[in-house]
Amino acid sequence: MIYDEPKFLPGGDRYVLVEFGNEMNLELNFTAQGLATKIEEQKTKGIVETAPCFASMLVHYEPNDISFDDVVKELKALIADLGPTDNIELSSRIFYFETLYLDPWTKECIDDYSAKITEKEYDPDFVARINGLEDRHQLVRVHSGTEYWVASLGFWPGLPFLQPLDPRSKITAPKYNPPRTWTPQGAIGMGGSASSIYPVQTPGGYQLFGRTPVPIWDTEKRFDAFGGEIVLFRPGDRLKYVPCTLEEYEHTEARIKDGTYVYNMVDYQKFSVRNYKSWVKTINADDRF
């Protein structure tokens, strides 16, 4: 559901939660990211930073410089200035990640869970079956057949919540219940309609079906693509998974280890919501790859 008017809720004494709706919807995320861009351009005194999410945005403000009510007034004015989402243009980078689907590491993780916690179907087969796909190999084609939109970052610092830009690649899956005690770093999986990459080895509940050797979390700041930060992605970035062989995976992994790896990325361009929506109208969203 998309709200007729955004809701403005207090989040403690220095945050405003702006809710645009209550569903995972690219339209709502474009609005959240468009508003975040406007706030950055406006440079309103007292607003510290923003954190766009799927259908909402958290705004951090300094109460000594601006009150909650005044923040809400500023936000309402900026939202009115945004106009229809068709008018929104966002700065967006695109990254290409070598990806080994149906890899041995996530299979080991799944097998360990089945042996020690509760028996379950192999994740790629399960996700393929519940989405009406032929088999795990079609899952790979469908999942790798689109660019993914970084809607937000969270759960673990640097972990991206990704939405497929091509509706033909939209798949859904429930999370593990109970969750796993460990997940390999770089594991690729999904929960609900969100796809993601695990930045480090951590517990988790997403259905797993691939792994990338490319770091998205770098506390040593070894790679220029991070721009001096420890987190690679920013909301509004795009990601394309590029299927690779085990040999190619290991080659990339070796280059990452010795510091010679160069990220395959295209720097900031304008992403036009109008052009994107026009393209979506030209395809049949029920087709699969």
Residues 6+ apart with CB under 8 A from 261: 214, 223, 252, 255
Q: What is the reported pTM?
A: 0.90
pLDDT score of 3 = 81
pLDDT score of 58 = 92
Instruction: Let me know the angle formed at the C-alpha of 29 by 127 and 274, rounded to the nearest 5 degrees.
Output: 105
State the fold for domain 92-280.
Answer: Cyclophilin (2.40.100)
Residues 6+ apart with CB under 8 A from 180: 109, 113, 117, 203, 204, 205
State the fold for domain 2-87.
Answer: Gyrase A; domain 2 (3.30.1360)
- Same topology between domain 2-87 and domain 92-280: no
Among 239, 117, 138, 233, which residue's Cα sits nearest to residue 180?
117
What residues does each domain of the chain span?
2-87, 92-280
Going residue by residue through the chain (289 aa), what tens digit of pLDDT does each one get? 778 889 999 988 899 999 988 877 788 888 888 888 888 888 888 999 998 888 888 999 999 999 999 999 999 998 888 878 888 888 999 999 999 999 999 999 999 999 999 999 999 999 999 999 999 999 999 999 999 999 988 878 889 999 999 999 999 999 999 999 999 999 999 999 999 999 999 999 999 999 999 999 999 999 999 999 999 999 899 999 999 999 999 999 999 999 999 999 999 999 999 999 999 999 998 899 8
pLDDT score of 117 = 96
Helix (H, G, I), strand (E, B) or coil at 141: helix
Rounded to an integer, what distance in angstroms lies between the CA atom of residue 58 and that of residue 40?
A: 14
